[in-house]
Amino acid sequence: MENFKEISLDDAIQLINKNNSVLKDDLIDELNGFYEVAGKIVLYSGETNLENLTVGNDIVLVNGDLNVTNIIEDCDKVDSSLLIVLGNVNCKNLITLSSMYFTGDLNAKNVILGDSLCDYVLNVGGNIVTKTILDYGHCIIAEKKITVTDVFSFNSIEDENGAIEQNMERDELADEITEFDDDEKMENLSKTIDYIKSGGEVFKVS
């Protein structure tokens, strides 16, 4: 049986205050804002191990480390969603179209894909380590250090040392994640998501 239960807004705020992360004030602001719309908070207690995690209408709060074998994704059947992890996050792939806040480190073995039309943020209180970051219009922040091999950035990726510059141009993006628009190669969100979900791991044309 999966180890989660519904909790009140007050209980959630209490857990965040107790965690006392550098992101605390942001977390409480986001929680209050999203709660007005969602009205439900689901809590996973302690170290949580899942095959996949899909966040939809309910706010998901993990009080402890989160280990996901394959994919963490959000915005399932909704326009916006909120995932808060009071701990470290380990996964293979992370796909975010809305708000995610992790107080510890994020280790995504393969890829982080973000696209929210530049409205939302992936905010990590520690370090981010991954192979590829694809920022199609999102804000990705690590309070400490980002370690990444390949970066495509449309909007903003930054760590404690400032902005992370992209080293992948549009014409270097793999054909599996792009389409041609007026003969110009453009990133394609749904193709990229399908590619990641089908096990694709190479995003740069060698």
User: Which tens digits make up the pLDDT trace of 103-143?
Assistant: 999 999 999 999 999 999 999 999 999 999 999 999 999 99
Q: Chain centroid to CA 24: how far?
A: 18
Three-state SS string across 61-125, please? Answer: EEECCEEECCEEECCCCCCCCEEEECCCEEEEEEEECCEEEECCCEEEEEEEEECCCCCCEEEEC
Give the up-direction half-sphere exposure of residue 182: CA atoms within 13 A in the CB hemisphere.
0
Find where tokens 């480390």 sit. Answer: 65
Is residue 48 a contact partner of residue 62, using CB atoms and an 8 Å limit?
yes
| φ, ψ (nearest 5 deg) of residue 152 | -115, 125
Closest CA to 123 of 40, 29, 194, 47: 29
At residue 206, does pLDDT exceed 80?
A: no
Sign of CA dihedral 155, 117, 178, 70: positive
Find where tokens 């599996």 sit. Answer: 176
Res 1: pLDDT: 41
Find the Cα–Cα–Cα–Cα dihedral 176, 182, 187, 190, rounded to 10°: -70
Q: Model-level pTM?
A: 0.96
At residue 29, does pLDDT exceed 50?
A: yes
Res 139: pLDDT: 97
At residue 89, does pLDDT exceed 90?
A: yes
At residue 146, does pLDDT exceed 70?
A: yes
Find where tokens 């519904």 sit. Answer: 6
Q: How many Å apart are CA 132 and CA 125, to the nearest integer?
A: 19
